[in-house]
Amino acid sequence: MGGLSLGDALALCVVLADRDPARYRRAAARWLSRFVDEVSDGSLEETQLVAAALAALPTVPTLALPVLRELAATTYLVPPISVLVSWLLLGESPPALAFLGGALALAGVAVVRRG
């Protein structure tokens, strides 16, 4: 989805499901198919979980969106943690700008999680 955040994409899904349920169902089927194609070692249970989430999103967006936004924000922790691990375990010395970027990512996660 390019530069669209996960939270924004989910909000668009809810709007689409509310205004054009048939179009949402077609899109959800394509997304589920893409999930199956891209996650080659995924289990049947994982596929069922994704299908259930796509089916439930339009009916319970007030419950789903805050949790999904928090999970999306947590993915921003991956780059600073990888820099830290590579520095401590592999002895790779990151540039000073990497520390600034990591601090910015951690601050962003803190802001999103706070509310």
Higher-confidence residue: 89 or 31? 89
Cα separation of 71 and 19, whole Å? 26
Cα separation of 66 and 84, whole Å? 29
Structure confidence by residue, pLDDT tens digits, 46-95: 778 778 877 777 776 666 666 666 666 667 777 778 888 888 999 988 88
61 closest CA partner among 8, 4, 10: 10
Residue 108, pLDDT score:
81
Structure confidence by residue, pLDDT tens digits, 96-109: 887 888 788 788 87
Helix (H) or strand (E) holding 89: helix 78-90
